[in-house]
A and B are shown apart, each in its own frame.
Chain A
Amino acid sequence: MSPNLLIAYRFLTAKKRAMLMSLSCTVLGVGLFIVTQATTSGFEEFFIKTILGTDGAMRVEDKMQDTIRSMNAGGGSDFIISHREGVKYIEGVEEPKLVIGGLNQFANVSGTSAVLRGNVVVRSSFKNETAQVFGISLEEHLKVSDLQHQIVQGDLATFRESPAGALMGKVLAERLELDVGSSFLLDAQGQLRRYRVSAIYETGVSDIDKTRVYVHLGEARSLLKRPTGVTFIQINLFDKDRAPQDAYQMQEVLKHSARPWQDREKAWLSAFRALSVSSAITVSVFTLIAGLAMFNTLAMIVLEKTKDIAILRSMGYERRDITQIFLWQAGIVLTIGAVVGALVGIIGTFAVSKIPLPINGIFKTETFQVSWSGWHYFEAILTAAILVMAASIIPARRAARLEPGDIVRGTAQ
């Protein structure tokens, strides 16, 4: 062990109580930071998983028409200013095959599903509800959603085999008092067709569960009188995080608007972000207290150990050594605090993940969601390191500035 580290350790253990205050605050700060980040990003990730499993990573819809206006800058120069005046959208994807062909050129695309959507009224013998019908090709749609894991009653095989089968959201089915096997009518502007509930799904997203009815694409075409074209193409990606870049390129190449999930769910995602930042700031108060306690402890040790500092200086220890001795003390507290804090974080995160917490509405879960990420530990320890070390610089420099001559005469201040 280096002499400076040994001296730091002995100085510190001579002031156990003051040091424990700083240490316990570091542990709390690091531990709570980890737990809060694990839960906020746990919920965020769960939310993302849910939205990717329902509305997919990206949707291509609405054909775009650029209107480019060029004008001569005048004055005889051939300087031409051209700018995009605005984009005109034409609703829907008129030629889904062509667009899907284009989409398949993108290496990151793992699946595509053409969807025809329309507003309908669902009529059961009990009551009527307005809803949206989604015409899908089941096999394609399973590649871009988690539909198969969202079935809570009945099964997909029945839907696959029955042309007049339908998948109905749990909330909608309850409102209409429909069970698997019950029949109902879909009414699209006077056009009435009869379907049978093949299965009931639940995504946990209430807006979806109370409005969506899935039928086969061909059925939807007849019902909505749309023999060609679809409303949108839902896309799944291998690398979800690259959705914005891909969307940009798709727009350029395919001339259809492409909306990545990050853009579509911006409001929720920024709410989660704000929550995670605000909880990080809140628990950093503990780390801040740890820093103040460290400052206090070291200032006290400097006062009590001036004689020892003079002895060390008389033996040839340099100013740098004295600074180091005091920074080591902070370093020791920080290291122990970080290790124990990380353990508290691990145990805390595990314990929190077992707490029952039924949530339904934006997603469906029965317990706290947590995410395990090394980044949380890194951020927690980095915050503690910055605050604790910053707090120890002043006392450390003060100790180093002491003149041995002043100390031995008792006039050091």
Chain B
Amino acid sequence: MLRCTDLQRYLGQGEGRVHVLKGVSFEALRGQIYAIVGPSGCGKSTLLYLLGLLDQPDGGQIAINGQTMSNNDDAARTAARGAHIGFVFQFHFLMLEFTALENVMMPMRKLGRLTPPQMAERAHELLASVGLADKTHRLGTQLSGGEQQRVAVARALANSPSIILADEPTGNLDVKNSAMVFDLLTRLAKDHGQAVILVTHNPDIANRCDFVRPMRDGVFI
């Protein structure tokens, strides 16, 4: 499904150049949930950006469904993002000038597989599944941080991606909503065979995942 081998990533320039990822290898399979845990600054987000094809590694390879993606050009990586990957950012979740519903419909509109009424219907369902059925027409600015985060989760699921990458999807949420989001992700993994990779600082959540990958100083330990 998703496989990366010996990923290397340097960040910064000149004196400030840091070796952030020092050879990360990792494999995610259909229907499984993976938790990446580790201290702040160890490189979890950096790894997730690479896996999400938002960034390019300085060494190593990433393959999706057996196809090497990391060395592809921008257009191919963009197309793969739209079709295979749902991404939840750690910060800044929504496009604030748009309603929750519009945010969720945004990836569907680009992919263009559904008709507009079907898109709206699916977006409603997704928002209901993260507990926001009654706030679909709120603008991004009119939602709390946790609500924005849940809309972002719903949006990541919009195109039924085979891989869901979530950078602390429950970071701003209370226990009840954390459980709701996590249950949703588990259900998707089990029912639809999607691979879920999430970063979390929450040990309860990590323990309920199928696999836990502890990370330190740019390597899995």
Contacts and interface: CB of A to CB of B under 8 A. Distances in A.
Q: Tell whether A and B belong to one assembly.
A: yes
A408 B49 contact: yes
A227 B82 CA distance: 95
B152 to A, nearest CB: 9
A409 B87 CA distance: 15
Contact of A405 (B49, B83, B85, B107): B49
Contacts of A3: 106, 109-110
B49 A316 contact: no
User: Which secondary structure characterizes the binding site on chain A?
Assistant: helix
Contacts of A282: none
Interface residues of A, number: 26
B55 A318 contact: no
B98 A10 contact: yes
A315 B95 CA distance: 12
Interface string A145-162: 000000000000000000
Given A3-B106, A405-B54, A316 B111 contact: yes
B72 interface: no
Interface stretch (B62-70, B73-81, B127-135): B73-81
Nearest to A407: B54
B89 A313 contact: no
A10 B97 contact: yes
Interface stretch (A111-119, A184-192, A304-312): A304-312
A164 to B, nearest CB: 87
B56 A313 contact: no
Interface in A287-345: 307-308, 310-319, 321
Interface of A: 3, 6-7, 10-11, 13-14, 307-308, 310-319, 321, 403-405, 408-409, 411
Given A310-B89, A405-B54, 19 more contacts: A3-B106, A10-B95, A10-B98, A307-B92, A308-B95, A311-B89, A311-B94, A313-B54, A315-B81, A315-B155, A316-B107, A316-B111, A316-B159, A319-B75, A403-B55, A404-B55, A405-B56, A408-B55, A411-B11
Interface of B: 11, 45-46, 49, 52, 54-56, 74-75, 78-79, 81-83, 85, 87, 89, 92, 94-95, 97-98, 102, 106-107, 109-111, 155, 159
